[in-house]
C-alpha cells in the first residue's frame, strides 16, 4: 500500500487484517504510553522520549500548538533525529507490509511519515492511531461475546486443561495471555502484562479463535476461569458470556493432578526463577513465593489445616534445598483435597445444568475433536 493516511472507510477491514495476520506496527508514542498499553505485533520506536513529550505537553498548554511543534523540532533534531529516522527505516526495510501509528494518527505519526518520506522511504500510517484500533478491538470483543456460543473446559485443579486449550486451535488461552497459572500459586517469574495489554491481546486472540471456529464449525473454547488471573481482570462481557456457556468437564485422578501440579508449580516454576534471577537468588525467591501464596489462602483453609500444610511446605522446601523436590507432593495433595477440590466442586454444582459432557482426557479430546 502506498504511503499516506489510510482511507477511513477501509479502517475496519484494515484493522481486522492487521490483528488477524499479526502485521508489524511502529508505535511512535512515548515509551510511557507504550508500556501502559500497546498491541502484540507493535514495537516502541518513539518520536519523543518521555521527558521530551512532557516538555512539549507543558509548552502546548502554556503557549499553544505552534509553539509546541517548534519545541518538538528543536528537541528532536540533528543526530537525534537521524538516529530515530534510521530506526524507523530499518524497521520498514524488515517489515515492508507494516504501518506506523501514534495516539490518534495525528501530528506525531504525520511527522514520522514525513521524515521517512524525505529519506526516500514511503511507509503508511494508521488513520485514528492507537485509539481507533483499541476501539475496534473493544467493539469486536463485545460483539463476539454477545453473538457467538462459547464452550468452557472445566475440571479440578491439576487436570492440565491448558494443554487441551492450546491444542484445540479454536481457543483463547486466558492463562497464557495473562502469563499466570490461574490460582493463588500461579504467579510467573517474568510478571504479567498491563491490563490494557492483556485486554488487547485477548481481543485479538478471540478474533483468531472466531475465524478458526467458523472454519471448523466448532464453538470457541475457553478454560473455565474466575474473574481474576493474578492482577489481570477478565472483562465483564466475557464473564457474562462464560456464565451462560456450556461446560465440558475434564476428569483426572488425584495422582495425575498431583503429578501435574508438582511439575508445573514446583519444577517448572523454580526453573523460571533460575532463568530470571540466576542460581544464587532463585531458590529463596521461589520459596518465598510459595510461602506467601499459601498464606493468602489461610483464612479459607482455617487455622488448623493451614498450620498443617504450612509445616509440610516448610519440610518440603528444606528437603528441596538439599536436592530432593519430591516432598512437595505431600502438601500439594493436601491442598488439592482440602482446598481446591471442595471449592471447585461447590462452584460447579451451581452450574450443573450447563454441563454437556464429562470424561477423562481421551474421552474429552474425542468429544471436542481434538487430537489426543
Residues 113-129, mean pLDDT to the nearest whole number: 95
pLDDT of residue 256: 97
pLDDT of residue 273: 95
Residues 152-169, mean pLDDT to the nearest whole number: 90
Computed over every residue of the chain, the mean pLDDT equals 92
Cβ proximity of 362 and 372 under 8 Å: yes
Element (H, E) at 228: strand 228-229
Cβ proximity of 131 and 107 under 8 Å: no
Find the DSSP H helices in the chain.
11-20, 31-36, 50-63, 65-75, 78-94, 107-118, 129-147, 161-168, 174-178, 195-216, 236-243, 254-261, 268-277, 279-296, 298-301, 303-321, 328-335, 341-349, 361-368
pLDDT of residue 231: 94
pLDDT of residue 372: 65
Q: Please give the residue that has the higher pLDDT: either 170 or 49.
A: 49
Residue extents of the structural domains in the chain:
8-135, 148-372
pLDDT of residue 290: 97
Question: CA-CA distances (angstroms) from residue 306 to 63, 185, 322?
Answer: 62, 15, 25
pLDDT tens digits, one per residue of 254-288: 999 999 999 999 999 999 999 999 988 999 999 99
Find the DSSP H helices in 97-194.
107-118, 129-147, 161-168, 174-178
**What's the pLDDT band for 2 if we cut at 50, 70, 90?**
very low
**What's the pLDDT band for 1 if we cut at 50, 70, 90?**
very low
Q: What are phi and psi of 152, to 5 degrees?
A: -100, 140
**What's the pLDDT band for 6 if we cut at 50, 70, 90?**
very low
**What's the pLDDT band for 317 if we cut at 50, 70, 90?**
very high
Indicate if the pLDDT at residue 5 is higher than 80: no
pLDDT of residue 72: 85
**What's the pLDDT band for 8 if we cut at 50, 70, 90?**
very low
Give CA–CA dist 66/49, Å, rounded. 20
Active-site positions read 102
Least confident stretch, 8-22, 87-101, 151-165: 8-22
Residue with cell 493516511: 5
**What's the pLDDT band for 107 if we cut at 50, 70, 90?**
confident
% of the chain surpassing 70 pLDDT: 97
pLDDT of residue 10: 66
Choose among 20, 105, 110, 44: nearest CA to 72.
110
pLDDT tens digits, one per residue of 46-73: 999 999 999 998 998 899 888 988 988 8
pLDDT tens digits, one per residue of 177-220: 999 998 889 999 999 999 999 999 999 999 999 998 888 888 89
Superfamily name with CATH number, domain 8-135:
Rhodanese-like domain (3.40.250.10)
pLDDT of residue 218: 85
C-alpha cell at 99: 504501518
pLDDT of residue 371: 76
Amino acid at each position: 500500500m502506498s504511503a499516506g493516511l489510510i482511507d477511513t472507510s477501509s479502517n475496519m477491514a484494515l484493522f481486522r487484517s492487521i490483528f488477524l495476520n499479526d502485521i508489524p506496527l511502529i508505535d511512535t508514542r512515548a515509551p510511557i504510553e507504550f508500556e501502559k498499553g500497546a498491541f502484540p505485533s507493535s514495537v516502541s520506536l518513539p518520536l519523543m522520549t518521555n521527558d521530551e513529550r512532557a516538555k512539549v505537553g507543558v509548552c502546548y498548554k502554556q503557549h499553544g500548538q505552534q509553539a509546541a511543534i517548534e519545541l518538538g523540532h528543536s528537541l528532536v533534531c540533528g543526530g537525534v533525529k537521524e538516529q530515530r529516522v534510521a530506526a524507523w527505516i530499518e524497521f520498514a526495510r524488515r517489515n515492508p507490509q507494516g504501518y506506523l501509528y501514534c495516539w490518534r494518527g495525528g501530528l506525531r505519526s504525520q511527522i514520522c511519515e514525513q521524515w521517512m518520506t524525505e529519506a526516500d522511504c514511503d511507509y503508511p500510517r494508521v488513520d485514528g492511531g492507537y485509539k481507533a484500533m483499541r476501539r475496534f478491538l473493544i467493539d469486536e470483543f463485545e460483539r463476539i461475546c454477545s453473538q457467538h456460543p462459547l464452550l468452557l473446559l472445566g475440571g479440578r485443579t491439576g487436570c492440565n486443561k491448558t494443554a487441551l486449550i492450546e491444542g484445540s486451535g479454536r481457543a483463547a488461552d486466558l492463562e497464557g495471555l495473562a502469563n499466570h497459572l490461574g490460582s493463588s500459586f500461579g504467579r510467573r517469574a517474568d510478571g504479567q502484562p498491563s491490563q490494557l495489554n492483556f485486554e488487547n491481546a485477548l481481543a485479538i486472540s478471540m478474533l483468531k479463535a472466531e475465524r478458526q471456529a467458523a472454519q471448523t464449525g466448532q464453538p470457541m473454547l475457553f478454560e473455565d476461569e474466575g474473574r481474576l488471573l493474578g492482577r489481570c481482570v477478565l472483562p465483564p462481557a466475557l464473564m457474562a458470556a462464560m456464565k451462560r456457556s456450556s461446560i465440558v468437564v475434564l476428569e483426572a485422578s488425584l495422582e495425575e493432578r498431583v503429578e501435574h501440579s508438582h511439575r508445573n508449580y514446583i519444577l517448572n516454576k523454580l526453573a523460571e526463577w533460575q532463568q530470571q534471577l540466576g542460581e544464587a537468588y532463585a531458590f529463596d525467591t521461589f520459596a518465598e513465593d510459595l510461602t506467601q501464596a499459601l498464606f493468602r489462602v489461610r483464612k479459607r483453609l482455617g487455622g488448623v489445616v493451614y498450620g498443617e500444610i504450612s509445616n509440610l511446605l516448610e519440610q518440603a522446601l528444606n528437603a528441596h534445598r538439599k536436592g530432593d523436590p519430591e516432598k512437595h507432593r505431600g502438601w500439594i495433595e493436601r491442598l488439592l483435597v482440602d482446598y481446591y477440590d471442595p471449592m471447585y466442586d461447590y462452584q460447579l454444582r451451581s452450574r450443573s445444568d450447563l454441563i454437556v459432557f464429562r470424561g477423562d482426557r481421551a474421552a474429552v479430546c474425542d468429544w471436542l475433536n481434538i487430537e489426543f
